[in-house]
Amino acid sequence: MFQLRVSAPAAVADAVVSRLTGDPAVSSVARVRGASITPPGDLVFAEVVREGTNEVIHDLRAMDVHHVGSIHLEPVTTWLSSAAYEAEERTPGASADAVVWAEVTQQAYEGSELNWTYASFMVMATLLASIAIVLDSQILVIGAMVLGPEFVAVAALGLGLVQRRFGLCRIALRTLVVGFVVAIAVAALAGLAARGLGWVDVADLSAPRPGTAFVYRPDKWSLVVAVLAGAAGVLSLTSAKVGGLSGVFISVTTVPAAGNVALGLAFWVPDEVWGSALQLVVNIAGMALAGWATLALQQAVWRRQTRRFDGGRAAVP
């Protein structure tokens, strides 16, 4: 269930109320005239079931509401309403399966923004991964995986392809490239410092490391795991039931591979550099392709379900 709030000039608010009233996916509508100061106009409130939100947002955008006013969506976690229950019963599909494209797109843009917070988490995760490799510690590798912030940017690549938002693809790709380059550079400098202090030597990389050898030895399973993790991660981001992201974070070896690239550069062990770089590329490509395929399937299924419900009018995200 979502609470919808629209701020719009009075003439546009009339059309909004007309659109919302009688919609089987809308359980209640309220209007406060003259309550909006900027832009001057009215506020319209409505409760919309998750399964019908895409159609409502699509029609409001077609009215140009987002240009002359604003559209605000807020999830309602707890509600008691017979009318809302009946609206959910009338609207086809399950709430957990419904993809609210406006919500997913906003998450993708926010998660793909290159900022100091993203870069800081990426650097700290890569440094932690480098320490894990030196110590051959699987626990620290898992910690580095969870700390890494890159998954939403990877998922944004798939979303950009599905929705043909190539600007989002460029933003996500830039964030990934710059984030990994900066993190690897900082970790490589830290590796050089540790080498100079005598804390780490080349034997720590060349000696057998059974706990972390998978980081620089990509194989067919690397791609399989990346595809499964990418699909599961996208489902967690798009579903109302979020619970799979932690499993995604500890399944793929993007950040550990970056940490091993940094150590390979600091001690110049080419085999470690190229093997880890290949692992990094395989994981990102596998997750991005899986995310694209999952989102494309969700979009196709939901459009077909919408056509059956409203007699041919399909919402376009």
Q: Which of 91, 117, 133 is the last residue of a domain?
A: 91
Residue 175 pLDDT: 93
Is the overall model pTM greater than 0.85, yes or no?
no
CA 219 to chain centre: 26
Which residues, in sequence order, are CB contacts of 242 under 8 Å at separation 6+?
236
Rounded mean pLDDT, 113-119: 91
241 pLDDT above the threshold of 80: no
Rounded mean pLDDT, 282-304: 82
Give the separation between CA 278 and CA 58, rounded to whole angstroms.
Answer: 41
Residue 137 pLDDT: 84
Q: Is 307 a member of any domain?
A: no
Domain identity same for 83 and 147: no
**Residue closest to 186 by CA, chosen among 130, 249, 267:** 130
Domain identity same for 210 and 165: yes
Q: Is 316 a member of any domain?
A: no
Give the separation between CA 57 and CA 5, rounded to whole angstroms.
Answer: 11
- For residues 312 and 72, which has the higher predicted lDDT (pLDDT)? 72
Q: Are 134 and 270 in contact (CB under 8 A)?
A: no
Domain identity same for 178 and 124: yes
Residue 110 pLDDT: 87
Q: Is 286 a member of any domain?
A: yes
**Total tally of structural domains belonging to the chain:** 2
Joined tokens for residue 87: 């609206």
Q: Is 96 a member of any domain?
A: no
Q: What percent of the chain has pLDDT over 70?
A: 89
Domain identity same for 264 and 198: yes
Q: Which of 42, 62, 91 is the last residue of a domain?
A: 91
Question: In the beta sheet, which residues pair with residue 7?
Answer: 43, 70
Residue 312 pLDDT: 39
Q: Is 309 a member of any domain?
A: no
Domain identity same for 133 and 278: yes
Domain identity same for 189 and 236: yes
Q: Which of 91, 125, 152 is the last residue of a domain?
A: 91
Q: Is 290 a member of any domain?
A: yes
Domain identity same for 213 and 146: yes
pLDDT tens digits for range 138-163: 888 888 888 888 888 888 888 888 88
Domain identity same for 6 and 112: no
Q: Is 314 a member of any domain?
A: no
pLDDT tens digits for range 11-64: 899 999 999 998 888 999 999 999 999 889 999 999 998 888 888 998 999 999
What is the 8-class DSSP label of residue 37? Answer: T
Domain identity same for 116 and 149: yes
Q: How many residues does the chain have?
A: 317
304 pLDDT above the threshold of 80: no
Q: Is 308 a member of any domain?
A: no
Q: Give the position of tokens 């944004």.
A: 156
Domain identity same for 81 and 215: no
Domain identity same for 250 and 124: yes
- Strand 70-75, strand 41-48: pairing: unpaired
CATH number at residue 66: 3.30.70.120
240: pLDDT confidence band, cut at 50, 70 and 90?
low
Q: Write out the residue range of the structural domain in which residue 74 sits.
A: 2-91
| H/E stretch holding 71 | strand 70-75
Domain identity same for 78 and 108: no
